[in-house]
Every structure is written in structure tokens, then in C-alpha cells.
Structure 1
Amino acid sequence: MAALFGARVRRLRTTAGLTQAELGDRTHVVSTRITQIERASGAKPTLDLARALDAALNADNLLVELWPYVYREAFPDWSRRFMGLSERAVAVREYAAHLVPGLLQTEDYARAVLSVGRTLDGKEQLEERVSLRMGRQERLVGPDRPELWVILDEAVLRRPVGGETVMREQLARLLSAAAEPHITVQVLPFDQGEHDVMGGSLTVLTMPDGSDTAYTEGAHYGQLVEDPDEVRDFALTYDRLRAVALPPLMSLGMIRSVMEDNHRGAKVPSRTDRRRVAQEQLQQSGGRQLRGGGRRIPRRDRRPGP
């Protein structure tokens, strides 16, 4: 499939009368990268590069549609459809039990996480996955960026994935991301005890037509849930987690505390303090739902999704 993708790029490029260097200039890569793609050598193209090639060559989405098949061996079957749906979602609600979600990972953190996967065939495939994960984050800054609401289990903050330096940079990334108006981050502290999604992660995607799809994932498996009744149950489960998690401002305070205390002894606000802050935020908002950093969502925009 990589060879087929490269052949299509070469045919479209020659039809357009472009040299490899000229195509590289239009897609902001060096000409040798175009050579590698056309010869199916080196790292496979990222989704972002496939889109750029498609636009530069007026391919009418041909290259974008071929791209998932180029990666057919790099990703398990159960993750591919989810990745495709995520690209179109207008809202993403995610609970993470063990790791920072991919959309908010730093490159070093992502490399540390992906390097321990059982489905990797070598360093080249690792770098392909890291490149893809970083490319997916482009959606968060594009014009069609989704609303992103993330709940992190306290364990996510306290496990120094990749070492303390990598983890500190990752926590800083969470703080900067939460400052964006379309991103909300909450922390679910240990003292909340057991809940319905222990041991795995949960993502609820809202599509442009208003429909929802749920996705649950463990260390080496995933399940896409599309049955409306089941999806509704998962959406309700997510809302319950959101209700018992720390309010957004307190969550950011806890992330900052863990980062500054080098993952030791960060203070978790008491339940009394959490209720007090939540009540104060509600009063300050005039009864409106708060986003991260104290931002407001008008009543007319309130719905089960973020």
C-alpha cells in the first residue's frame, strides 16, 4: 500500500508538471522526503502530509483516503475506525485512567508510552506512530477544532512516564492546553474511590450530525460502541465522572502542585473545599456551567456533550 500511495503521488506530480523539489516546497518538506514517499522507502507519510500532498496535487481526497491503508499494519484493527471518527468529531469527551490522552501528549511522553506497546515491530514503526500522534494534534489548532473535555485520574499525574523531566514537561503542556477556550481539563482524585470506568479509558465522540459514539480501551484492546442505548449509558457514566471530579480551576491547581512538588506530596483539596469552590464558581457564573479557567458556556449551549 505504501508503494501504491507513492505511485499515485508520482503520477499526480508528473501530470501537474512539478518536480520533487517543487512539490516539496508546496508541502513544506524537503525534496528527499518526496523521493522517499514515491519509492515507499523511509518513514511513511503522516496524515498531515497526506492532506498537504492531496491539496497540492488536486487529488480530490484520493491520497487522504489511501493513507489509512498505508498504516494498516502499524495499528490494530480496533483502533483504525476510532481514529477516523475522531478526525471528524466536533466534540471529544475523554476519561483517562493511566495516561495523558494522545491529543495532549508531548512528543517525548508519546514516545515513552508507545515504546512499551506489544504491537510494535521496531524503531521505525515507533517513530511512525509518534509522528501520527503529533499530527493528530493539529486538529486542536485548526479552524474545525473540536471541543475537548478531558478527565484525568490522579494516577495520570503521579506516574512519571519517561522520567521526571519528561513528566514535568507533560504537566506543563496540560496547563498550557487548558488555557485554550475549547479545552477543559479536570482531575479525578483518588479519594473519590471506585467508579464505573476503573482500569481503562472512555471516550465519547460527538459527530457533526449530533450523534455520539463511545470507545473504551485497555492496554492492548479497544472497543468501539455504536449502539445508541449503550452509547447513552457511557455518556451518562462520563457525566457522573465529570460531576465528582475536581472543578477545572482546582484541577489546574493540583496539576501545578504535582509539577512543582516533583510528583511527591501534592496537596489534594478536601471535599469541603471542593464543594465550596464549586459553589462559588456557580454563583460567579450566574448559574451557568463553567469551563476551564472560569470560562462560561451560555445556557443555550449546554448539553450532555462538552
Structure 2
Amino acid sequence: MSDGGEHVVRRKDIDGSSSVPGFYGKELRWQREAAGLSLEKLVEGSFYGKSHLSDIERGERRMPLELARHVDRVLGTDGYFERHCEDVRRARRGPHAAYFEKVLEAERFAESIEEWCPRTFPGLLQTAAYAGALVRSAHPPVLDDWVEEKVQARLTRARLFDEDHSTPEYWAILHESLLTDAILPPQEMAEQLDRVAELARRRRIVPQIVLRKSGAYPLMAASVKIMTFPEAPPLVYAEASYSGDTIDDPALVKQYRKAYDRLRAVALSPETSLAMIEAAAGDYRNGGQPDRLE
């Protein structure tokens, strides 16, 4: 049907055999069209847009639980989509940790991504050497091939910065210790900092630095990512070493939003922060160690 529901438009069928999300999406589209509803009509009354639902039908996006409940209610499918949306979410895609799957998908569709990383550079900003060091430190017994698979998966995520049409607005607040406390040899640390500076110079990211001497500030003990979307409610992702939690409760999301904004007020300006990053990269390149700004 057209978006207004006036007439039937013949389209290429969706191949539901290619994946679990594809099968789920094909069933969703079949049920929607059998009910004579357009994408726009089916999402009416939900917090989601028709393109979000279209992505689900094509198997490119997972069904949020609240949207599955809405679809079941409108289509009268007796809880089918709610019962099976978690099965679809558990269908692993690639070498990322299972708890990260929802975030991996969300990054691709985000309108904005804002991160606070007090201990490590965010995955989207890491070089191969930096990512490899972190993976090996977290999983010391594993084989090199396994490490390389994880590293390449992380680098693939960062390709969104090279896609002009889909690049989200990205803001990264970083702690000063990431510049001064090296976890790699000097040349590799220079390359890591050069990567961040290069993205900032290309206006793909906005970095800010929080100094050690800033005193107490919000989110001191948390690593947080806040994502907003054109046609879906915002998400917060909080991560620990071997686990992660995706938060969509509106009250909690609002609390994280306010805390992140207060943290931004504590950090140095983007211009001053970029100058610090470039200066630290130069120190490493010359075989030195950046000074702490105590």
C-alpha cells in the first residue's frame, strides 16, 4: 500500500530465509499488509516513525519491546511479535559481545551520539593498536586470530565517520588521563591521538577534555553513551568491563541527559581540548611523555 493506504504497490519480496531478523521482518510485513495497513498507520500512536518500522521489516533493525506490543495490539496478533522480538534480539550478528548488539545497531541509525569515557578512548575512536591492547588485556589467553577479529569489528564500526550522508553528530568527553597515561609505546599513542585530532579537524567529532584537577563532577564512575534518533526515543548505554546495560526508561534517560550536560560544563572547550590532544600527540611522536596538568 501507499503511505495513505489508497492502493497496492507491488514490491520485491523480502527474503526471510537469510536471517532471524529477516524472517521476523517478513512476517511483520505480511501481517501488516494482510490487515490493509500502511507503515504510517501501523506506527500511529507509538513513539516510532514509519522508516523505523520499514527497517525492521527489511531485517535491518531489531524490534523494540514497546513497539512489538503496539504492533500486536493494532494487528490483533495475540502477542506474537512481543514473544518473538527477544528471540530476534538474541540472534547474534558478528563478533561483538551479545550485550552490545543493540548498541551496534543503534549507532548506525543515531542522529547524535554523546560519550563520556573516563578510562579508555571510545571504541569508535580507537586505532587498531589501541583496540588490540584493550582486547588482549581483557582476554589474555585468547589466540591472535580471535583478537584480530574483535579489532576489525571495532574498526568497522568507525566507518560511519566516512559516510557523509549518515554521519551522526558525535560528541566525546574524555578524561585527561587518556592523554597522559600511555598504554601503548609512544609512536602508537601518537597515532591514537592523531586519529582523534584528525576526526575533530574534519568536523566529524567534537572532543572535550575533563582535567584531573576538576574536583567532583557528574558521572565520575560511569562510562556512558547517549544516543538520539529521528524516529525513536533516546537510549543510554552504560558499560563495565564484561557487561553493558541499555537504558530506555524515560526518567533514567532524562537523568543521564542532565548529568551529561553538567559534565560538559566542567570540561574544557572543544578548541582548547583539541589543542591539548595535538600537543600530547606531538610529545609522544618526539619520544616524550605529555605533562600532567596538575
Amino acid corresponding to residue 266 of structure 1 in structure 2: D
TM-score calculated relative to the size of structure 1: 0.62
Counterpart in 2 of 1:220?
A: 242
TM alignment of 1:136-151, pairs within 5 A: 136-142=157-163, 143-151=165-173
2:229 aligned with 1:207: yes
Ranges in structure 1 where 5+ consecutive residues have no aligned partner? 1-6, 10-59, 271-306
Between the aligned partners of 2:168 and 2:89, the Cα distance in structure 1 is: 22
Q: Is the 8 A contact 1:203 1:215 kept in 2?
A: yes
Aligned counterpart, 1:247:
269
Contact 2:92–2:98 (CA under 8 A) maintained in structure 1 = no
Distance 2:106 2:141 in 1: 23
Aligned-partner SS, 1:99: coil
* 8 Å CA contact retained: 2:93, 2:101: no
Structure 1 residues 69 and 161, CA, compared in 2 at 3 Å: closer, same or farther? farther
Distance in 2 (alpha carbons) for counterparts of 1:61 and 1:125 = 30
Partner of 1:300: none
Structure 1 residues 188 and 63: alpha-carbon distance in aligned structure 2, compared to 1, 3 A threshold:
closer
1:173-221 CA-partner distances (Å, limit 9, x unpaired):
1111111234101111111122232233111001122621111112222
How much does 1:62 deviate? 5.9
Letter in 2 for 1:183: I
Distance in structure 1 (CA, Å) of the matches to 2:159 and 2:97: 22
Aligned length: 212
Aligned to 1:198, the other structure's residue is in SS state: coil
Q: Which amino acid aligns with 2:206?
A: T
Cα distance in 2 for partners of 1:194, 1:123 equals 40
Give the Cα–Cα distance (whole angstroms) in 1 for the partners of residues 140 and 190 of structure 2. 28
Deviation of the 1:267 alpha carbon: 6.5
Q: Deviations over 1:136-180 (max 9, x none)?
A: 111112111101000101111122223222111011111111112
Partners in 1 of 2:238 and 2:156 — Cα distance?
22
Residue of structure 1 aligned with 2:289, choices 264, 272, 277: 264
TM-score where L is the length of structure 2: 0.64
Instruction: Name which of structure 1's ranges 105-114 and 166-175 shifts more when overlaid on structure 2.
Output: 105-114
Identity %: 27
Q: What residue identity is the alignment partner of 1:213?
A: L
Q: Aligned partners of 1:63 and 1:8: how far apart in 2? A: 12
**Of 96, 111, 129, the match for 1:90:** 111
Q: RMSD between aligned alpha carbons? A: 2.9
Deviation string, structure 1 residues 272-296 (Cα, Å, up to 9, x no partner): xxxxxxxxxxxxxxxxxxxxxxxxx
